Amino acid sequence: MRDTVSFRVLRAAVLTSITAMVLLPLYVIVVSSFKPLADVSGPFTWLPDRFTLEPYVQMWSTIPLARYLANSVLVTSVSTLLALTIAVLAAFSLSRLRWRGQRAFSLLVLSTQMFPGILFLLPLYLIFTQIQRTIGVQLNGSYAGLIVTYMTFSVPFATWMLMGFFAAIPDDLEEAAMVDGTTRLGAFLRVVLPVARPGIVAVGVFTFLNGWGEVLFASVLTTRETRTLAVGLQAFSTQTDVRWNEMMAASIVISLPVLVAFLLVQRHLVQGLATGAVK
Amino acid sequence: MATTLNESPPESRTARTGSGGRRRRRRLNLLPYLLVLPELVAELLIHIIPMALGVWIAFLSLNQLSIRHWISAPFVGLTNFRNGLDPSTAIGSQFFQTLGRTAVYTVLVLGLCWLLGTAAAYFLNSQFRGRGLLRALYLLPFALPVFVSAIAFAFMFNQRDGIVNKVLVDELHLVDDRPFWLIGSNAFVTLVIASVWTAWPFAFLLQLAALQTVPDEVYEAAALDGAGRWRQFFGITLPMIRTPNVVMLLLMFLATFNQFTVPYVLFGVSPPSEATLMSPLIYQFSFGNWNFGLGGAVSTLLLVLLFVVSAVYIRLVMPKERPGHA
C-alpha cells in the first residue's frame, strides 16, 4: 500500500511521542547512575555535574548487594528449573496425548494461572508457620519456602506457554518416528523435545523473568539473609538519605542480563503467541 | 508479569486420533497420567490446598496473637465477611472504595495500554527504516523488571527534586506550587502512569502479532473500493483482530486488577488511601494489621470475582470439546 504524506506525518508524530515516552524513564535511570550523590540529592539535572562511575563501585558496600544478587539467582534459578521440568512433562501430556480428565486438568492449570499471588500468600504463610511448629523445619524466610511460593506462578505459566509450543509441532514428525518403531515416550524425547527446544528455552527465560521481578512473596517471606534484589534495593533508601545514584546503578546491573535474555528470545514469545491463540 | 495463552488447534487433535492413535488407545495407557503426576502433586500442594485453606481462614478469628496457633483459632462464621462488606463500617467502606478504585484504575490502564499498543503496532506494521530498532526499544519497558521501573518513577515523581516537577514547575511554569505526586490524590495519577509504562508493550506485542495475520490482499481489495486508511482500520482491521484483542484485554485485566508491585514500590507498605488497590489492601489487612481473617474474607470475595471473569475468559479461549470425544 502506498504511504501518503499525511500518513507519514501522522506516523512520525505518533512514533516520536511514544519513543520519547519510552526513553524518558530509561534516560533518567542511566544518567542518574553516573552522578555523584550530591547531584542526585538535589534538583534533577539533565546532565551530570560531574560524570562518575563511583555509584557502580560504592553500591556493593552500601547494602549487601552481592548477597541479594546471589539470593535472587539461587531462588529464581531453582524455581524456574523445577517448574520447567514439571511443566515440560505435563505440557506434553496435555497437548499431544489424549486421556480422560485432560480438559479438566488444563482448565485447572489455566485458572490457577490467573489467580493473584496474594490469594496464595496468606494460606502458604500459615502452612509454613504450622510446619515449623510441628516438625521444626523453618520455611518462612528460608530459600525453600520462597522457592515453593515462586512455583505458584511459574508452574502454571510455564505449562500454559509450553502447551502452545508443543501443539504447534507438526504431528507428522512424531508419527514418522513411531512408524519406525519408536514408542510414544521415545518420540517425545527424541523428536518433540529437540524440535521444541528453542520454545522451551524461551519459556524458561520468561519464567525466570517473572521470578526475577517478584516482589509480593519476597517482601513477606525473606529475612536479612535471604532477601532478594526486588525487595533488597529498597535498602538504598534510608531515613537520612536516598542513594538514588547507587539504586539506579544497581538497577541497571541487575536488569542488563535479563534485558539481553529477553531480547534474544522475544521472537519466540511472538511466535508462540502467533501460532497459539492469536490467529 | 508476562502472561500468555495458547490454544491447541482443534484440527491437529482430530488428526492425532486417527487410526494409529486408536490402535494404541486399546491398551491401558498410563503414560499420560505418569507425565502429569508431578504437576498434579504440585497443583495440590501450591494451589488447591492453599486456596481451600484461604477460604477456611475467612471464617476464623485470626490476629497477631492467635496466628501462631491458627489451627485452633475460633470459628466466627460470617463475621469477617460482615465486617468486610458492611459499608457503614470503616473497613467495609474501605473495601468498597478500593473495589471501585481498582475498577477505575483497571479501565484506565487497559484503555491507555490498548491505545498505545495499537497505535505503535499499527504504525510499525508499515515499512520504513528503523522499524526493527523501534520494535526492540518498545519492548524494553516490558523486559525491565517492574520493580526497577517503579523505582525510576518514584525518583521522577519526587516532589522536591524529581524531573516531573522540574519540567512542570521550573521549565514550563504550568503550576506554581510543586505538587506532591506520591501522596494525596495525585498518587493515583502517578500509579496509572507508571503502570501503563510497564504494561503497554504487552498490548503492543500482541497487537503486532495480530495485525500480521491480516493478509495484505484484504487491504488491497478495500483500497480498490475506495476505502481510506481510517475506514480500512475501523471497518476491516479491528473486526478481524477482535478475538485476539478480547483475549489480550482479559489477560491484561487480570494482571492489572491484581497489581501489587507498582504501588508497593512507589508507596511502600501503606499506600495513600487515594491510591490503594485490591491486592495491597489485602496485604495491608493481613500483614499490616495481622488480621488474617479479614484478609482471608476479602481474598475469598476476590477469588469469587476472578472466578467469574476466568469462566468467561476460558469460554472464549479454550477450544470447544468436539462431540463424540471423551
Give the whole-number percent of chain B exceeding pLDDT 70: 87
pLDDT digits (tens, 9 = 90+) for B163-210: 998 889 888 888 888 899 999 999 999 999 999 999 999 999 989 988
- How confident is the model over A151-179, as a mean pLDDT? 87
Question: What is residue B325's predicted lDDT score, i.e. its pLDDT?
Answer: 39
For chain A, report the end-to-end CA distance as a whole number of angstroms: 23
Quick one: which H or E segment has residue B55?
helix B49-57
Grid cell 510414544 is found at A184
Task: Name the residue type at position A166.
Answer: F
Partner-chain residue, chosen from B32, B145, B161, that has the shortest CB–CB distance to A213? B145
Q: Which residues contact B323 (CB under 8 A, 6 or more apart)?
A: none
- How confident is the model over A74-102, as a mean pLDDT? 93
In total, the C-beta contacts within 8 angstroms joining chain A to chain B are 334
Partner-chain residue, chosen from A92, A123, A160, that has the shortest CB–CB distance to B54? A123
Question: What is residue A156's predicted lDDT score, i.e. its pLDDT?
Answer: 92
Band (pLDDT 50/70/90 cuts) for residue B12 is very low
Asked if B274 contacts B185 with a C-beta cutoff of 8 angstroms, the reply is yes
- A172 in contact with B, Cβ within 8 Å: no
d(CA B93, CA B98): 8
Question: What is residue B235's predicted lDDT score, i.e. its pLDDT?
Answer: 86
Report the CATH fold assignment for B38-317: MetI-like fold (1.10.3720)
Q: Which residues contact B187 (CB under 8 A, 6 or more apart)?
A: B180, B181, B266, B267, B271, B272, B274, B275
- In this structure, whether the domain defined by A64-236 belongs to CATH 3.30.300.30 is answered with no
Instruction: Please judge whether A213 and B1 are an interchain contact, meaning their C-beta atoms are less than 8 angstroms apart.
Output: yes
With 70 as the cut, is the pLDDT of residue B21 above it? no
Q: Would you give the distance in Å from CA B101 to the centre of its chain?
A: 15
- How confident is the model over A239-259, as a mean pLDDT? 93
Partner-chain residue, chosen from A87, A103, A152, that has the shortest CB–CB distance to B46? A152
Domain boundaries, chain B: 38-317
ipTM: 0.91
pLDDT digits (tens, 9 = 90+) for B145-166: 999 999 999 999 998 889 998 8
pLDDT digits (tens, 9 = 90+) for B218-262: 888 888 888 788 888 888 888 888 878 887 888 889 899 999 999
Number of C-alpha atoms within 13 angstroms, CB side, residue A127? Answer: 20
Of A23-32, B2-11, B66-75, highest mean pLDDT? A23-32
- B44 in contact with A, Cβ within 8 Å: no
- How confident is the model over B69-78, as a mean pLDDT? 85
Of A49-63, B11-25, B305-319, highest mean pLDDT? A49-63
Instruction: Write down the mean pLDDT value for chain A.
Output: 89
A116: distance to nearest CA of chain B, Å? 6
Least Cα distance to A158 among B101, B80, B115, B3 occurs for B3
Band (pLDDT 50/70/90 cuts) for residue B11 is very low
Partner-chain residue, chosen from A11, A152, A209, that has the shortest CB–CB distance to B47? A152
Band (pLDDT 50/70/90 cuts) for residue A278 is very low
Chosen for mutation from A33, A122, A169 (greatest number of chain B CBs closer than 10 Å) is: A122
- DSSP assignment of B177-239, as one string? S---SSSSTHHHHHHHHHHHHHHHHHHHHHHHHHHTTS-HHHHHHHHHTT--HHHHIIIIIHH
d(CA A150, CA B197): 25
Task: Name the residue type at position A221.
Answer: L
- B304 in contact with A, Cβ within 8 Å: no
Chain A residue numbers with beta carbons less than 8 Å from the beta carbon of B143 are 209, 258-259, 262-263, 266
pLDDT digits (tens, 9 = 90+) for A228-248: 999 999 999 888 889 999 999
Question: What is residue A80's predicted lDDT score, i.e. its pLDDT?
Answer: 97
Asked if B154 contacts B182 with a C-beta cutoff of 8 angstroms, the reply is yes
Instruction: Please judge whether B57 and A161 are an interchain contact, meaning their C-beta atoms are less than 8 angstroms apart.
Output: no
Question: What is residue A145's predicted lDDT score, i.e. its pLDDT?
Answer: 95
d(CA A173, CA B122): 36
User: What are residue A237's DSSP bridge partners?
Assistant: A242
d(CA B303, CA B301): 5
Model's pTM, two decimal places? 0.88
